[in-house]
Structure 1
């Protein structure tokens, strides 16, 4: 740099530098505070990230008052409460009841026999069986997809299962295994 030459630092660069310095000094404190609020380190990290984004936006106003920590804590608590209010957060955690062992796979011969039997069904019965047992839809959902009544779905399902049992029992395939 030449002597006597002034270097101009933009206000944005100064703001960014001050913010980075604050984050480096207080990130651990904010993360611990967030953990105490939520009890989960991963969620705590997300809350700190949210707080830092909002803090950066308000940095010129907050930094001059010297209220950075108070503002960040307030954001963390409010972000946590907002997160818990979201509908998807109310869902039950885990896969209780859904984490079952995979059913035993069909042999190639049984699989071929099942597909052949399904192809032999009339189109409406085949569609009903696929929607009800492959996609695991309810009777009402199946009726909606097929644009018919629930009674039609039930009768088509009963006829299709009877036909499949007849066809597959002749081929010595057990119907205890689901398609």
Structure 2
């Protein structure tokens, strides 16, 4: 990589790192694993930087890389992941009703990975259906059905009869 390209890469990653970490944490609910996902993504981005720079929307391109890295990681067996910690999980967003946030985040972690990705992108990252469909490489209808199934699963996990879309965004956002 040429020095000017490397400077562009470093500047881009430095600026986008907080957003990538936030998205990654929302997907996997573990700050260390989120950092690993981001690291894998930005390493792949470095390798493909020339091609990535030519993307129509670089942010969406990198978000798509992160989401695919997460989904690929979910397909691996549990034995490929090591979970070592001697302290309780830290949530990156203190404030608000922490108890409700923890309950919603724990329930979201139990939603199937693809549905979780759709819920995170739609409600925590506030992306429209069309952008989520583009990121995942599927139809808008598929995103809508995954959203409905994901919300139904959250309702079931939280044992709620009336669980609105606004509540997902409200309790998951910073």
Give the TM-score, by structure 2 length: 0.43
- Return the index of the structure with the highest Cα Rg: 1
Structure scoring higher RCO (CA < 8 A, sep ≥ 6) equals 2
